[in-house]
Amino acid sequence: MEKTRGFQIVSRFKDNEIQLPTRSTAHSAGYDIQAAEDMLIPRDGTIKLVATGLKAYMQTGEVLYLFSRSSGPLKKGLVLPNSVGVIDGDYYDNPKNEGEIFVQIRSISGEDVLIKKGDRIAQAVFMPYLITDDDQASGKRLGGFGSTGV
């Protein structure tokens, strides 16, 4: 069977009982993303990169967006400071970090928040994207997280 889109566990977490993302209901757009390890999110608003132990593959013309879970800000005081994470298709299996997805998180609660391994921290939605008529992009990704434009 040809792979179209989905998630895989990165090699550094292959023996850590990481759960592949799932949708909660038949009409859910987002796949629940869990933390791969415990992490303390400090009350001072410092942004932390939370490991997921996952990488995502997709077709040309698709992107994976990471969004805050709707309950995150109200129940736990946690938000994604970049509002939406963008995982490009060429991030998958990049030579620097194998395409591992990290979620940027900060506390807005005024309290330290402990994220435990297995806590749902974001939702991921696969979407198509469009390009302009005069698009000339031809570069090749060589790095991992935050590497484009460096």
CATH of region 6-127: 2.70.40.10
pLDDT at site 16: 94
pTM above the 0.85 mark? yes
Q: Are 55 and 5 in contact (CB under 8 A)?
A: no
Q: Rounded distance, CA 88 to CA 58, Å? A: 9
Tell me the C-alpha to C-alpha distance, in Å, between residue 91 and each of 40, 64, 119, 128, 146. Answer: 26, 10, 24, 16, 10
Each residue's pLDDT expressed in tens, for the chain with a length of 150 residues: 789 999 999 999 999 999 999 999 999 999 999 999 999 999 999 999 999 999 999 999 999 999 999 888 889 999 999 999 999 999 999 999 999 999 999 999 999 999 999 999 999 999 999 999 999 988 776 765 555 555
Domain range summary for the chain, segments of one domain joined by +: 6-127
